[in-house]
Amino acid sequence: MLKMLNLLFQSHAGLWRITILLFFLAFILLKIGKPKGKKITQMLLRLLYVIMIVSGLGMLIVLKFPWLYVIKGILALWLIWTMELILSKSVARKESGPSTKGYWIQFLIALILVIWIAAKMIRF
């Protein structure tokens, strides 16, 4: 059981790092006018979202659903949602579109909370 938890944890944590990097890469590709690269990166991100959700659920099951990690999971879903909205609502630099400022604020709040819970800086 401990080996399974360690495997899930290591893959989950590593995928989060890769996901955040790919998110910023997709955003940069969009802003410099490379929509094809952004689309490919966004598809990879969506695959990583699914894998992370499955590994996160696996850890919740192994740990028997501690409520703080359930909250972290909900915050992580909010983070994924804001990442998707930022990438889908943002437009290339030449075009004008809706402001994503509110989504960026939500992204930062969710990211900080998820990291704090993961680093055990928030405890109850």
What are the structural domain ranges in the chain?
Answer: 2-118
CA 72 to CA 75: how far, in whole Å?
Answer: 5
Taking residues 88-106, report their average pLDDT. Answer: 81
Q: How confident is the model at residue 94 (pLDDT cuts 50, 70, 90)?
A: low
> What pTM does this model have?
0.88
- Looking at residue 92, its pLDDT comes to 62
Phi-psi region of 65 (alpha: psi -120 to 50; beta: other; left: phi over 0): left
Q: What is the pLDDT of residue 100?
A: 87
Res. 122: pLDDT tops 90 = no
Residue 90: closest CA among 43, 45, 24: 24
pLDDT at 22: 97
Q: Which of 123, 111, 113 has its CA nearest to residue 16? A: 111
- State the alpha helices, DSSP H only, in 32-100: 35-62, 67-89
